[in-house]
Amino acid sequence: MKKLLITGASGFLGWHICQLAKQEWEVYGTYCSHELEIDGIKLLKVDLTNYQELKHTFSDIEPAAVIHTAAQSQPNFCQTHPQESHTINVVTSSNIAGLCADYAIPCVFTSTDLVFDGLNAPYQETDSVCPVNIYGEQKVMAEIGMLERYPQTAVCRMPLMFGAKTPTANSFIQPFIQTLKAGKELSLFIDEFRTPVSAMTAAKGLLLALAKVKGYIHLGGKERISRYDFGKLLIEVFQFPTTGLKSCRQEDVKMAAPRPADVSLDSSRAFALGYQPLSLQKELQELFR
């Protein structure tokens, strides 16, 4: 079996990719602070921001391909810690692309729908980027830096992702479920729109990109939905009382990082390659089971 290196294996998306990829690859996963075990995966503690350590990891493993998911992906943290997040989000990403170029191996990078300003959705790969927060800016810098170092990189812009919690990470729906289960009030935005997918669907898209994509690709779902309407769907599938859900607007909630209103992705290019997100209702029913 060929060796696949997945950075950020302890993260929500990284963990799901490991589960899927191990069926066809010998998988090596890196983690930094959240130690974990994943059945069938060789896990390594690596400080990816240390270039020598990163270089040694490549020379020790000699991977046949890399999927780079490790990041500081909390927009509010990036807004308040711009230098710390820049190191992992921008510098490390560029270094990984450089090493993939040295080894002449496929490289997949997980970027974000937050590279857009939310004013002209749905967004295609060719639309110009204009992030409204530092996290989005850093992802744009990483995209450009990686493609400069290694034009063969597949830059995958990811939507909002949800799914089962992993040993070391949650998705955005776990706090929702906790709040609703406790019978408390859940306030969700009626004016923030995304094209969400489950982490398992996203993982399939990334493995598809590994085989078929160079340059930019969008891996959003087929439905544009507000957080509030997503909450309604969650309540319906998980059979929670509907009284707990309240609507609010972005301006009602003070956050460190500004949020774009609508970063729905047009992923028709990926659909044409065989990327097949299920309906959100089906994805949530799978989870509920």
Give 9's pLDDT tier (boundaries 50, 70, 90). Answer: very high
pLDDT of 131: 98
pLDDT of 35: 84
> Shortest CA distance to 283 belongs to which of 242, 225, 244?
225
Residue-wise pLDDT tens digits, 225-243? 999 999 999 999 999 988 8
- Catalogue the E-assigned strands of 32-100: 42-45, 65-68
Structural domains in the chain?
A: 3-161+196-218 (3.40.50.720), 172-195+225-264+279-288 (3.90.25.10)
Distance CA 230, CA 277 (A): 16
Residue-wise pLDDT tens digits, 26-51? 999 999 988 889 999 999 999 999 99
A 10 A CB-CB count for 36 gives: 16
Q: Which two tokens stand for residue 43?
A: 């896990």
pLDDT of 119: 97
Residue-wise pLDDT tens digits, 251-281? 999 999 999 999 999 999 999 999 999 999 9
Cβ contacts of 39 within 8 Å, gap of 6 or more = none
Amino acid at 202: A
Distance CA 173, CA 162 (A): 6
Residue-wise pLDDT tens digits, 111-134? 999 999 999 999 999 999 999 999
Residue-wise pLDDT tens digits, 180-229? 999 999 999 999 999 999 999 999 999 999 999 999 999 999 999 999 99
Q: How many residues does the chain have?
A: 289
Question: 247 near 187, Cβ under 8 Å?
Answer: yes
pLDDT of 33: 85
